[in-house]
């Protein structure tokens, strides 16, 4: 499958496979002015090493971002990292020994799996539904592990607009998860790259806020609210854990890029970062709506998908006789790509699902891309029908077909949902 | 010599091809040639016409680069190129066509039936599946006619698994073949010029021969070269491989994949332009024959097709 993903990088391919934010709307003039100011006023410092924990000024910016979601961490608990990805890596490096159990969602962030695996963790995945991770299943797994005399090192969750499923952990489940962590003295790693990218519905308190930072380690990033190219993320952890993370960071790369930290400092000093995030939210909201409309129009009746209230991704599930890894090969013949669901699982699950990104491509490309994928799926559905004598369901009307109570991993939310 | 290395392209084997190409470029530079790397895209003709290389080293895999397409373009431009010519590439890429030719020439290949999508959609071929299962037996191998690296190759353990496997295989090509499964040792014979190289055996360490994915996961397959075979066995395997190579009209170099079962060797397919990465089988076989990668590349260059192929 990795080989197929290499083909998706061809320029003529409409790629709904990436996790890319749209950086084309960032004003080049602003970028040029800030970088020029850094060059003229602080060249020597900006080209120098920096502290392992990151500059205090960067941490101030991080506090502003976290404050926008109601979090008030102690600045000493924050470390600046080379993207959120490094934060996940450093947390694993600090906490995970070979054979340790790490619990995460099913599906989970595909980029986290290689990290867990490289530290030889045993990954246990908990099913999600439209309200995120099923906490009752988590409780059952924790109890089973306890009976076996094992304790997970942590529970990894992307609670808001999850990558890849697009679902959001409900408030009730958030409270329950934090409570469980406290009762069982269990660490939770909250990865929240998308929290500020909400298009609809009420904001949800992050786990870190509900918990107060005792059992929740927080991972954040500037990638989705500013730029992934600057590779700036952070982790927030209580002092004993943070000390080890700092040692790990020293070993990994000494410090995060000074230059890009200077850039963020300049950018935040303008005081308009929230305006930029608001403009992204508008763009992404339209793109999500375009994708949902296109899915409705072009995907066959047997397909289901999530309706995210924010973030970058929609997760679609097809009939179980369709392998989305093979479907990708067919889609690539039509110059369109997505991420096969298998990459979000450590086992064989997800083979009939796919992750679709709506943030990184234009509305026209979304419509065309979904149309082409829909046609490829329709051909497979029709072929399967011809091979088995099972004839496909009529394509319309969809809304009546998915009645509440349908047993689907991701039931589409109701009319009032998104 | 000025050598253009054609690599990449838009086939699903693009990434393997980029690795093959990069390794060939390094070797050519060490050999003192002037190297022009070309990632095959819509500007390929223009760039070839502008560069006018003395020879093109085709390091492309899959449709577009290994099926005669790139070779035809090179012939039009009168540029000599490495590996088999247009017709041989076209025959090797299409497994159904290749199997017909092999059978006619008396080269052993497992029994098969081939269908295109229209047969199932419009001609009711699904009704024939029960009979086919009985004739070929289970497990049954289902694979796209064109394509490499075992992409889309599925095993159906029983009749009920056939439709899903067909849907997968048809994702890669509009023609698929259903082939009798032959239990045996997996062997590969690379041929250089007209000379067979030592036989490579692929030994899946997990023990599950049905899992073709095992081949491409590091550590799950071990390679043994030269394969541990008796003289008679080795002779039969080499004869079958050379028979396939010649029947399909290959020249320069190619790799023949076979299964050695109880009834002797059976040819599965011929790869017109096999992988040249550091884990590929042809370089391993060359090494076992005492050839460095540079020597292999130089030899392939010497064997290049003359400028006009037809």
Q: In DSSP terms, which residues pair with B115 in a beta bridge?
A: B176
Does A242 lie in the same domain as A352?
A: no
CATH 3.90.550.10 assigned to B112-180: no
Asked if B138 contacts B158 with a C-beta cutoff of 8 angstroms, the reply is yes
Task: With CA atoms as reference, report the closest residue to A305 among A363, A367, A353, A370.
Answer: A353
Average pLDDT for A199-228: 95
For residues B67-93, one letter each, b for 16 or more C-beta atoms within 10 angstroms of the residue's C-beta and e for the rest, the string is: bbbbbbbbbeeebbbbbbbbebbbbbb
Closest residue in A to B127 (Cα) is A387
Asked if A113 contacts A88 with a C-beta cutoff of 8 angstroms, the reply is no
Q: Which residues of A touch B149 (CB under 8 A)?
A: 3
Asked if B198 contacts B225 with a C-beta cutoff of 8 angstroms, the reply is yes
Which of A235, A269, A303 is the last residue in one of the domains? A269
Q: Which residues of A touch B167 (CB under 8 A)?
A: 321-323, 326, 380, 383-384, 387
Quick check: A38 pLDDT over 70?
Answer: yes
Residue A137, Cα to own-chain centre: how many angstroms? 21
Does A257 lie in the same domain as A162?
A: yes
Q: Which residues contact A205 (CB under 8 A, 6 or more apart)?
A: A69, A70, A171, A174
Write down the pLDDT at residue A191.
98
For residues A356-377, one letter each, b for 16 or more C-beta atoms within 10 angstroms of the residue's C-beta and e for the rest, the string is: bbbbbbebebbbbbbbbbbbbb
**ipTM of this complex:** 0.85
Q: What architecture does CATH give domain B91-108+183-291?
A: 2-Layer Sandwich (3.30)
Radius of gyration of chain B (CA): 19
Closest residue in B to A13 (Cα) is B10
Q: Mark yes or no for CB contact A7/B15 under 8 Å.
A: yes
Task: With CA atoms as reference, report the closest residue to A360 among A306, A291, A274.
Answer: A291
Quick check: B279 pLDDT over 90?
Answer: no
Q: Mark yes or no for CB contact B121/A4 under 8 Å.
A: no
Q: Least CB-CB distance to A7: which of B14, B169, B172?
A: B14
Catalytic annotation present for B172: no
3-state secondary structure (DSSP) of residue A50: coil
Q: Mark yes or no for CB contact A387/B163 under 8 Å.
A: yes
Write down the pLDDT at residue A324.
96
Q: The CATH number of the domain where A325 resides is what?
A: 3.90.1150.10
Quick check: A406 pLDDT over 60?
Answer: no
Average pLDDT for B208-228: 66
Which of A232, A253, A269 is the last residue in one of the domains? A269
Task: With CA atoms as reference, report the closest residue to B164 among B148, B144, B142, B147.
Answer: B142
pLDDT in tens, B219-271: 567 889 999 999 999 999 999 999 999 999 999 999 999 999 999 999 999 99
Domain that holds residue A83: 28-269
Residue A36 placed within a domain: yes
Average pLDDT for B4-23: 92
Write down the pLDDT at residue A19.
84
B130 torsion bin: left (phi>0), alpha (psi -120 to 50), beta (else): alpha
Number of independent structural domains in chain A: 2
Write down the pLDDT at residue B233.
96
Catalytic annotation present for B13: yes
Catalytic annotation present for B269: yes
Write down the pLDDT at residue A391.
67
| Cα gap B274→B83, rounded to integer Å | 10
Asked if A9 contacts B155 with a C-beta cutoff of 8 angstroms, the reply is no
Write down the pLDDT at residue A212.
93
3-state secondary structure (DSSP) of residue B64: coil
Write down the pLDDT at residue A399.
43
Residue A413 placed within a domain: no
pLDDT in tens, B60-110: 998 889 999 999 999 999 999 999 999 999 999 999 999 999 999 999 999
Report H helices in A270-340.
Answer: 273-298, 324-333
Average pLDDT for A386-412: 52
A1 touches chain B (CB under 8 A): no
Q: Least CB-CB distance to A330: which of B10, B15, B171?
A: B171
Q: Is the dihedral of CA A273, A156, A214, A175 positive or negative?
A: positive
Q: How far is CA A294 from CA A14, A291, A297, A379, in A?
A: 15, 5, 5, 17
Residue A409 placed within a domain: no
DSSP classification of residue A256 = -
Average pLDDT for B110-114: 95
Whats the size of chain B, residue-wise? 310
Quick check: A94 pLDDT over 90?
Answer: yes
Quick check: A377 pLDDT over 70?
Answer: yes
Q: The CATH number of the domain where A152 resides is what?
A: 3.40.640.10
DSSP classification of residue B130 = H
| Domain locations in chain B as residue ranges | 2-83, 91-108+183-291, 112-180
Write down the pLDDT at residue B220.
63
Does A296 lie in the same domain as A200?
A: no
pLDDT in tens, B148-158: 767 888 999 99
Does A108 lie in the same domain as A250?
A: yes
Q: Mark yes or no for CB contact B172/A7 under 8 Å.
A: no
Write down the pLDDT at residue B69.
92
Quick check: B278 pLDDT over 90?
Answer: no
Catalytic annotation present for B257: yes
Find the catalytic residue in B8, B13, B20, B94: B13
* Confidence bin at B134 (pLDDT 50/70/90): confident
Write down the pLDDT at residue B247.
97
Average pLDDT for A154-176: 97
The beta strands (E) that lie in A87-166 are given as 101-106, 122-129, 132-133, 154-157
Residues 118-147 of B with CB under 8 A from A: 120-121, 126, 129
pLDDT in tens, A334-371: 999 999 999 999 988 999 999 999 999 999 999 999 99
Quick check: A415 pLDDT over 50?
Answer: no
Write down the pLDDT at residue A417.
32
Question: Beta strand A336-337 with A14-15: parallel, antiparallel or unpaired?
Answer: parallel
Q: Mark yes or no for CB contact A387/B151 under 8 Å.
A: no
* Residue of B171, B176, B211, B217 to mutate when probing chain A, most A C-beta within 10 A: B171
Does A220 lie in the same domain as A71?
A: yes
Write down the pLDDT at residue A2.
53
3-state secondary structure (DSSP) of residue A379: helix
Q: Which residues contact A156 (CB under 8 A, 6 or more apart)?
A: A88, A102, A103, A104, A105, A108, A112, A116, A189, A191
Structure tokens at A226: 């500013």
Write down the pLDDT at residue A220.
98
Does A301 lie in the same domain as A163?
A: no
Q: Which residues of A touch B169 (CB under 8 A)?
A: 326
Q: Least CB-CB distance to B152: which of A7, A329, A332?
A: A329
CB half-sphere exposure, A263, CA atoms < 13 A:
19
| Cα gap A276→A378, rounded to integer Å | 39
Fold of B2-83: Rossmann fold (3.40.50)
DSSP classification of residue B10 = S
Write down the pLDDT at residue A11.
81
Residues 361-400 of A with CB under 8 A from B: 376, 380, 382-384, 386-389
Write down the pLDDT at residue A405.
34
Say if residue A402 is preceded by a cis peptide, omega within 30 of 0.
Answer: no
Q: Is the dihedral of CA A318, A321, A324, A330 positive or negative?
A: negative
Q: DSSP for A311-328?
A: SSEEEEE--TT--HHHHH
- Angle CA(A296)–CA(A301)–CA(A305) in degrees, nearest 5? 55
Task: With CA atoms as reference, report the closest residue to A208 among A195, A227, A222.
Answer: A195
Q: Mark yes or no for CB contact A383/B15 under 8 Å.
A: no
């Amino acid at each position: 499958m990795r080989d197929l993903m290499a083909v998706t990088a061809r320029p003529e391919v409409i790629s709904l496979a990436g996790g890319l934010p749209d950086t084309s709307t960032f004003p080049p003039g602003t970028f040029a002015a800030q970088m020029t100011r850094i060059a003229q006023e602080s060249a020597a410092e900006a080209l120098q090493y920096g502290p392992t924990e990151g500059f205090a000024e960067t941490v101030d910016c991080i506090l502003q971002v976290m404050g926008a979601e109601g979090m008030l961490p102690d600045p000493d608990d924050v470390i600046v990292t080379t993207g959120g990805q490094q934060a996940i890596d450093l947390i694993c490096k600090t906490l995970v020994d070979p054979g340790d159990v790490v619990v995460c969602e099913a599906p989970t962030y595909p980029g986290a799996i290689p990290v867990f695996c490289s530290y030889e963790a045993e990954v246990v995945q908990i099913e999600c539904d439209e309200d995120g991770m099923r906490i009752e299943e988590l409780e059952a797994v924790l109890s089973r592990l306890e009976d076996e005399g094992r304790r997970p090192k942590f529970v990894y969750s992307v609670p808001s607009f999850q990558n890849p499923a697009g679902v959001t952990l409900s408030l009730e489940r958030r409270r329950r998860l934090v409570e469980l962590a406290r009762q069982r003295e269990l660490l939770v790693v909250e990865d929240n790259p998308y929290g500020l990218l909400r298009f609809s519905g009420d904001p949800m308190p992050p786990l870190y806020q509900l918990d107060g930072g005792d059992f929740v380690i927080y991972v954040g990033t500037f990638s989705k609210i500013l730029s992934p190219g600057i590779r700036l993320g952070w982790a927030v952890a209580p002092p004993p854990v943070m000390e080890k993370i700092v040692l790990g960071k020293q070993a990994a790369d000494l410090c995060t890029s000074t230059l890009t930290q200077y850039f963020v400092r300049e950018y935040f000093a303008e005081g308009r970062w929230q305006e930029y995030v608001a403009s992204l939210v508008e763009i992404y909201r339209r793109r999500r709506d375009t994708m949902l409309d296109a899915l409705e129009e072009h995907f066959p009746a047997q397909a289901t998908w999530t309706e995210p209230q924010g973030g970058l991704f929609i997760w679609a599930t097809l009939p179980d006789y369709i392998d989305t890894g093979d479907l990708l090969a067919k889609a690539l013949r039509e110059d369109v790509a997505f991420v096969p669901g298998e990459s979000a699982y450590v086992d064989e699950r997800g083979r009939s699902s796919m992750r679709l990104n709506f943030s990184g491509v234009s509305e026209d490309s979304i419509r065309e891309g979904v149309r082409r994928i829909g046609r490829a799926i329709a051909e497979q559905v029709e072929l399967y029908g011809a091979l088995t004598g099972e004839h496909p369901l009529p394509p319309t009307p969809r809304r009546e077909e998915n009645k509440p109570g349908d047993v689907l991993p991701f039931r589409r939310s109701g009319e009032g949902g998104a | 010599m000025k050598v253009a290395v054609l690599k990449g392209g838009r086939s699903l084997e693009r990434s393997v091809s980029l690795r093959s190409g990069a390794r060939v470029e390094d070797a050519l530079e060490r050999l003192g040639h002037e190297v022009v790397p070309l990632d095959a895209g819509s500007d390929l003709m223009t760039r070839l016409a502008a560069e006018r290389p003395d020879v093109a080293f085709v390091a492309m895999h899959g449709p577009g680069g290994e099926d005669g397409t790139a070779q035809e373009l090179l012939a039009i431009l009168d540029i000599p190129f490495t590996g088999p010519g247009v017709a041989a590439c076209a025959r090797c890429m299409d497994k159904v066509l290749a199997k017909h030719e092999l059978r006619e020439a008396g080269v052993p290949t497992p029994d098969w039936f081939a269908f295109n999508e229209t047969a199932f959609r419009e001609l009711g071929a699904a009704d024939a599946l029960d009979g086919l299962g009985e004739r070929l037996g289970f497990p049954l191998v289902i694979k796209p006619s064109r394509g490499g690296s075992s992409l889309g190759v599925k095993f159906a353990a029983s009749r009920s698994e056939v439709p899903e496997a067909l849907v997968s295989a048809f994702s890669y090509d509009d023609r698929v073949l259903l082939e009798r499964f032959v239990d045996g040792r997996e062997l590969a014979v690379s041929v250089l010029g007209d000379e067979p190289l030592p036989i490579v055996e692929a030994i899946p360490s997990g023990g599950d021969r049905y899992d073709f994915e095992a081949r491409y996961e590091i550590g799950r397959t071990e390679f043994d070269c030269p394969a541990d075979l008796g003289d008679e066995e080795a002779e039969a395997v080499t004869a079958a491989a050379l028979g396939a190579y010649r029947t399909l009209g290959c020249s320069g170099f190619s790799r023949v994949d076979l299964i050695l079962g109880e009834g002797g060797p059976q040819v599965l397919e011929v790869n017109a332009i096999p992988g040249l990465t550091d884990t590929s089988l042809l370089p391993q076989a060359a090494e076992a024959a005492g050839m460095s990668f540079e020597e292999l590349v130089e030899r392939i260059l010497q064997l290049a097709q003359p400028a006009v192929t037809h």
